[in-house]
């Protein structure tokens, strides 16, 4: 398995879980993490948050050119 996104890339994050709000800001890939089962993991950070998140690859999508910054 290979990571789809690269360190430094801007992504959208949609955790798809109730009670797990994500900010509407862009997220930046900080680090590629080892897989957990069949899920590739990433450490991500939004400039509008004071903490980092761990996200599964399926929760991320590439930022489109039309996405707000």
Domain boundaries, the chain: 1-51
The partner residues of 42 in beta bridges, in order of sequence, read 32, 55
Contact (Cβ atoms closer than 8 angstroms) between residue 52 and residue 43: yes
Mean pLDDT in order along the chain per 10 residues (69 residues) = 95 78 78 96 95 95 69
The pTM of the full predicted model, rounded to 2 decimals, is 0.81
CA dist 35 and 22 (Å) reads 22
Contact (Cβ atoms closer than 8 angstroms) between residue 52 and residue 33: no
């Amino acid at each position: 398995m290979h990571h789809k996104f690269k360190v430094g890339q801007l992504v959208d994050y949609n955790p798809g879980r109730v009670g797990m709000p994500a900010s509407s800001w862009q997220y930046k890939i900080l680090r590629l993490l080892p897989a957990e089962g069949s899920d590739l993991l990433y450490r991500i950070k939004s400039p509008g948050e004071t903490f980092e998140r761990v996200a599964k690859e399926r929760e991320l999508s590439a930022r489109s050119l039309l996405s707000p910054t």
